[in-house]
Structure 1
Amino acid sequence: MTGRILIVDDVDINRKLLEAKLHAEYLEVLTASRGPEALEICASESVDLVLLDVMMPDMDGYEVCRRLKAAPHTRHLPVILVTALDQPSDRVRGLEAGADDFLTKPVRELQLMSRVKSLLRLKILSDELRIRADTTANILGGADFLAEIGLGGLDGRVVVVDDGAEGFAGHSARILGTEHDCRTVGVEAAFAASAEADLVVVDLATSTFDALRFASQLRSGEATRRVPILLLAAPQDEARIAKALEIGVNDYLLRPIDRNELLARARTQIKRRRYDEGLRQSLRSTVELAVTDPLTGLQNRRFLESHLPGVIERARAEGRPLSILIADIDHFKQINDRNGHDVGDEVLREFARRIRDGSRASDLCCRLGGEEFVVVMPDTEGADAAQIAERMRRLVAETSFECAASAVAVTVSVGLAVFDHRTDDVASLLKRADRSLYAAKHGGRNRVAQLAA
């Protein structure tokens, strides 16, 4: 995973130690020794995450965090406060200032990297949503889709998964019930309850089910994959906590549970959940006619033409990988001629559903027109893009399309192109993907082709 991390600490040796650990994980690092310098860097540079010391002269880390979270340009930049302060009240103060997490010095490498990678993954998805919102605003005349999205973290729908024992889960539920609509359920009912939740709380120490497997299953479910998960854990569970963050748990709280810290962490996760869901709903409701293909529900050529330049500029500026593919249904005219245009429309709708199923949450699927489709894959190297393209090809070819009470065999040819930071622009990237598509057609169809830059 790539990312650009800003380390802010007034002690030179602290910056160098953190920098060495991050470089070892192939992350790009910027440094600052004062709060005002950090604010200036975040305003002018591309930064993915901030590691922020609390005790600094002139402006402490709490104030820097508050200013970052108050500015529209940096409001959603992940911030981890790093300090020798280790009291619950210190953590609560940091969370209330808007920090996404709080690490205590000396920072252990496993703890640091699991947190950094987890927050980077979340930021990649959030960035993609905001880029789409900006694209939509430009298309529709500068409308501000973010201004009316609620950012509050109170009165959430919280599900606490309890194994029936009188332990930390039940204690947490009583605390959370003072600010939220809190339900306590067994693991059998947890999946259905979680689909409507703003936050799910689960105890790592439960003896009647595997908490990590449960979290993994939540992340793999269509209805629950975006619901925040808060894990209750013991200090000696560090390795399992790291695994939990790796599989998609959003946050954790160490026992013994501090009431104020639990409430602060819950508010932070619910606020983020509401923002992301509000953004998705805003995009769905306001953009549908302007940038959505009415037949397939995918975004259309107009959106792609406005969106792709920003994606390419971001990839070039930040040195990130980017791949795109163009998919074309094989012999689509014959499908229309043999079965009629109504069946052809059903094929297009089902084809769109299958390529969505074969893509990831961060990918953008568009219909160019006719039987031609584009998938934009940010942060995706060529080898990974080839696997995604092949998975889409198989999803189409291996099962017939059931249309108008008859089975229609459908295959697709796919052309793949990987962004070259030195030479590519929108036109050249699309042209190379189109040439690759032609090569797939010429090579016999029902295949993936990729031509060199």
Structure 2
Amino acid sequence: MPMKVLIADDANSDRLLLKLHLSKLGYKTIEASNGQEAIDQFVAHSQDLDLILMDVQMPRVNGFEAVRAIRTIQEEQKQEWLPVIFLSASAEDEDIEGGILAGGDDYLMKPISQKVLSAKMLAMQRIADMRRRLVESNLVLEQLASTDYLTGVANRRAFEMMLDREITFTRRYGSPMACAIFDLDKFKIVNDTYGHDAGDAVLVEVVSRIKSILRRGDTIGRLGGEEFGVILPKVSETELLDIFERYRIAVAEQPVKYESIEIPVTISVGVTLYTGYLEDRIALLKRADQSLYEAKETGRNKVVCNPI
């Protein structure tokens, strides 16, 4: 994948020469004619930029000031490091030191040799490739850290973080949300009778059925074992019972097929509503858990909704 390079230089002729040379080498370029424009271009393209070539002497905001501002933005927004090469006619030791201290990674003297620039770009391409692989690896690790390995839904940690976020949203904007806990009825019998592979297949199928009818923006997560949580933002009390009855019916209406076996499955669901009271996630989950306990104690395969 070709690198995307920001060229910041107030001299039109210098920018044009750099652009032509980089284009011949197969790189994509965007331009800025002063330091402030370079900052603006960085903000607009930070997600797909690979390198900045920054002239030092520019009007309004010079190169050192621009890079300091860019590094501050990266730090505040927790962005990945982006290589910067300063371009300058000055060969003074103090200027080279100043460029590195300002956040630069290299320093080239003007007029720039095409061979030297080509070599530097090759080195930066290697850095960009490694950086891209690192970002991709971090995304995979982040997903693994927040996803239940079996069912593919949010794990408990991720679910609780999402619940905290929705609690904050409801407090701020007053839009009610529902929190529910459900588990599979007599799931131990399934594992004991058909084996744990069959039990895993049942869990995967139950989650699949419920995910297929969740609204956009709803969240399901595995809290542990056969217990799951559901978050429904922006929902009213009058809707609760009908929504979760649909989930219960979707699970119970057909047995789960595993190899040549048909395994009947039902769920019990405990639901509560959050409207902005000063209670935390722990208290809200406890209310949902109490409703689940009532559903289990009064016959299973049912939804118990205690809004407040």
Q: What TM-score comes out, normalization by structure 1 length?
A: 0.38
- How much does 1:438 deviate? 0.5
Instruction: Give yes or no for contact 1:359–1:388 (8 Å, CA) kept in 2.
Output: no
1:17-416 equivalences in 2 (<5 Å)? 144=79, 285=140, 287-416=142-271
CA 1:316–1:436: 2 relative to 1, 3 Å? same
**1:410 aligns to what SS in structure 2?**
coil
- How much does 1:401 deviate? 0.2
Give the whole-Å Cα distance in 2 for the aligned partners of 1:389 and 1:368. Answer: 18
Question: Quick one: which amino acid aligns to residue 305 of structure 2?
Answer: Q
Determine whether 1:421 maps to 2:276: yes
Aligned to 1:444: 299
Per-residue CA distance 1:246-303 (angstroms, 9 max, x = gap): xxxxxxxxxxxxxxxxxxxxxxxxxxxxxxxxxxx99985532110001000010010
Question: Quick one: which amino acid aligns to residue 324 of structure 1?
Answer: C
Per-residue CA distance 1:421-447 (angstroms, 9 max, x = gap): 134321111111000000110110000
CA 1:282–1:420: 2 relative to 1, 3 Å? farther
Question: Quick one: which amino acid aligns to residue 294 of structure 1?
Answer: Y
Give the whole-Å Cα distance in 2 for the aligned partners of 1:143 and 1:399. Answer: 48
In structure 1, the gaps of 5 or more residues are 1-66, 72-141, 148-280
**1:297 aligns to what SS in structure 2?**
coil
CA 1:439–1:282: 2 relative to 1, 3 Å? farther
Instruction: Give yes or no for contact 2:174–2:275 (8 Å, CA) kept in 1.
Output: no
Aligned to 2:109: none
Give the whole-Å Cα distance in 2 for the aligned partners of 1:353 and 1:345. Answer: 12
Question: Quick one: which amino acid aligns to residue 292 of structure 1?
Answer: T
- How much does 1:452 deviate? 4.5
- How much does 1:358 deviate? 2.4
Give the whole-Å Cα distance in 1 for the aligned partners of 2:168 and 2:245. Answer: 27
Give the whole-Å Cα distance in 2 for the aligned partners of 1:337 and 1:392. Answer: 25
Aligned to 1:113: none
CA 1:441–1:355: 2 relative to 1, 3 Å? same
In structure 2, the gaps of 5 or more residues are 1-39, 45-76, 83-135
Give the whole-Å Cα distance in 1 for the aligned partners of 2:184 and 2:292. Answer: 11
CA 1:450–1:290: 2 relative to 1, 3 Å? same
- How much does 1:398 deviate? 0.2
Question: Quick one: which amino acid aligns to residue 363 of structure 1?
Answer: D
CA 1:392–1:283: 2 relative to 1, 3 Å? farther
Give the whole-Å Cα distance in 2 for the aligned partners of 1:400 and 1:313. Answer: 39
CA 1:341–1:282: 2 relative to 1, 3 Å? same
**1:446 aligns to what SS in structure 2?**
coil
Give the whole-Å Cα distance in 2 for the aligned partners of 1:370 and 1:380. Answer: 27
**1:296 aligns to what SS in structure 2?**
coil
Higher Rg of the two aligned structures: 2
Give the whole-Å Cα distance in 1 for the aligned partners of 2:137 and 2:220. Answer: 18
- How much does 1:328 deviate? 0.5
**2:152 aligns to what SS in structure 1?**
coil
Instruction: Give yes or no for contact 2:183–2:228 (8 Å, CA) kept in 1.
Output: yes
> Relative contact order: is structure 1 or structure 2 higher (C-alpha 8 Å, sep ≥ 6)?
2
- How much does 1:359 deviate? 1.0
Instruction: Give yes or no for contact 1:327–1:414 (8 Å, CA) kept in 2.
Output: yes
Give the whole-Å Cα distance in 2 for the aligned partners of 1:420 and 1:320. Answer: 7
Give the whole-Å Cα distance in 2 for the aligned partners of 1:313 and 1:447. Answer: 30
CA 1:144–1:325: 2 relative to 1, 3 Å? farther
Give the whole-Å Cα distance in 1 for the aligned partners of 2:274 and 2:189. Answer: 34
Give the whole-Å Cα distance in 2 for the aligned partners of 1:440 and 1:334. Answer: 19
Cα RMSD, aligned residues only:
2.6
Instruction: Give yes or no for contact 1:362–1:378 (8 Å, CA) kept in 2.
Output: yes
Per-residue CA distance 1:34-62 (angstroms, 9 max, x = gap): xxxxxxxxxxxxxxxxxxxxxxxxxxxxx
**2:268 aligns to what SS in structure 1?**
strand
Per-residue CA distance 1:234-257 (angstroms, 9 max, x = gap): xxxxxxxxxxxxxxxxxxxxxxxx
Give the whole-Å Cα distance in 2 for the aligned partners of 1:339 and 1:297. Answer: 23
Q: What TM-score comes out, normalization by structure 2 length?
A: 0.55
Per-residue CA distance 1:354-388 (angstroms, 9 max, x = gap): 11112111101100010000111111112223222
Instruction: Give yes or no for contact 1:332–1:371 (8 Å, CA) kept in 2.
Output: yes
**1:299 aligns to what SS in structure 2?**
coil
Instruction: Give yes or no for contact 1:301–1:367 (8 Å, CA) kept in 2.
Output: yes
Give the whole-Å Cα distance in 1 for the aligned partners of 2:144 and 2:280. Answer: 28
- How much does 1:304 deviate? 1.5
